[in-house]
Amino acid sequence: MNHKIYLLMYASILKIVHPSLLIFLFSAVNLYATSPINEAEVTMEKEDLADDLRRKIRLGFTAPSTIHRQLLLTEDENASSGIDWGYDSEYLTTDYEDMYWLIEDQLFIIQGTDIIDEYSSFPLGFHTHNDGMSTIGIDGLENISEEFSLYLFDTELEIYHNLRANAYEFYAEAGEYLDRFALVFTLPQGYSETLSIDENERDSFKMHYDNGINTLIVNNPFSVTLKTISVYNLAGQLIHVQTLNEALIKLRIQFNNRPAQGTYIVLVETDTGTVSKKVLFY
């Protein structure tokens, strides 16, 4: 039977049994289907959708291969913090790099929960096939006030990143990570957002390659403490790493062997976060 016909028959039954679950059905279908189902295809008034006032958070994950996955988190009084049939949509294993919610050690792309507040924490897992840079950011918010904070907690670097400000960019080697990130909504006591690297500091890092002396030059005008600097080619291979733990305004890294011409990713780990830049070596 055509998958659309099957799902529409199921939707008509679901409307009678539990109308609120229709939103989860449409979200799940549209995440997987190559031709999304239009809600108008079922006997459901548009006002039913317009009156949906539940809070929804859509997170986006972009992998090194540039594949993009969107996850949905919905607050619904009929759901719970555990696994709920009809409110959570399980992750189907694919050959692609991906991200997912973790509920009771199982993987999901849609999660329904009864409450989202400052005490909530929603673990995230991901896997990649190649070393490289990935990003996690907000794809969309529904019925979320502007005052409501959203942070991504990086357990590896012990950083709380404000997703309201911008997406979080990070480096990871190829593999599966089930305990590195969590979506949270408040900062722990004693933690200040000023400890996270801000946009001014991030933009202040200027890097370029001097072909004449085979040297990478890193300008750090805010004198942020530089912990390590790593240089990767676009294939994800590490070609240079240097440990510093110094607050240098300008750093010169001279290579023993001349790198091949091309674009490289320079990853700078500081005491307040991680910055990555693409630099042309010529």
Reported as a single tens digit per residue, the pLDDT across 222-237 is 888 888 999 988 877 8
Q: What pLDDT is stored for residue 200 in this prediction?
A: 61
List C-alpha distances in Å: 220 to 147, 201, 217, 225, 271: 33, 8, 10, 9, 13
> How does pLDDT run across 92-132, given as a tens digit for each residue?
988 899 999 999 999 999 999 999 999 999 999 999 998 87
Looking at 52, 75, 93, which one is the last position of a domain? 52
160 and 75 fall within a common domain: yes
Q: CA-to-CA distance for 80 and 202, rounded, in angstroms?
A: 39
Q: Which two tokens stand for residue 78?
A: 């009929």
Residues of the chain under the 70 pLDDT cut: 1-50, 192-202
159 and 212 fall within a common domain: no
Q: What pLDDT is stored for residue 209 in this prediction?
A: 94
Structure-token match 């840079």, residue found: 133
Q: What pLDDT is stored for residue 13 in this prediction?
A: 39
1 and 37 fall within a common domain: yes
Beta strands in the chain (DSSP E): 56-62, 68-75, 89-90, 98-103, 106-113, 121-128, 132-142, 151-154, 159-162, 168-172, 175-184, 206-210, 215-219, 226-233, 238-246, 250-254, 262-270, 273-281
Q: Are 207 and 216 in contact (CB under 8 A)?
A: yes
Percent of the chain with pLDDT over 70: 78
Structure-token match 């010529």, residue found: 282
Q: How many domains does the structure of the chain reveal?
A: 3
Q: CA-to-CA distance for 140 and 118, rounded, in angstroms?
A: 19
Q: Which two tokens stand for residue 178?
A: 């089930």
List C-alpha distances in Å: 32 to 6, 15, 129, 133, 142: 15, 21, 21, 25, 21
Residue 31: which of 84, 74, 76 has the closest Cα?
74
Q: What pLDDT is stored for residue 194 in this prediction?
A: 52
29 and 141 fall within a common domain: no
78 and 128 fall within a common domain: yes
183 and 64 fall within a common domain: yes
174 and 125 fall within a common domain: yes
133 and 237 fall within a common domain: no
Q: CA-to-CA distance for 88 and 150, rounded, in angstroms?
A: 21
Segment 42-49 long-range contacts (CB within 8 Å, at least 24 positions apart): 42/8, 42/11, 42/12, 42/15, 43/12, 43/15, 44/11, 44/15, 48/19, 48/22, 49/23
Burial class (CB in 10 A: 0-12, 13-18, 19+), 116: buried
118 and 170 fall within a common domain: yes
Q: Which two tokens stand for residue 168?
A: 């979080």
Structure-token match 């849609």, residue found: 110
Q: What pLDDT is stored for residue 20 in this prediction?
A: 47
Instruction: Look up the domain containing 124 and give its range.
Output: 55-190
Structure-token match 């305004």, residue found: 249
User: Residue 264: which CATH number?
Assistant: 2.60.40.3080
Q: Are 193 and 162 in contact (CB under 8 A)?
A: yes
Q: CA-to-CA distance for 14 and 8, rounded, in angstroms?
A: 10
168 and 66 fall within a common domain: yes
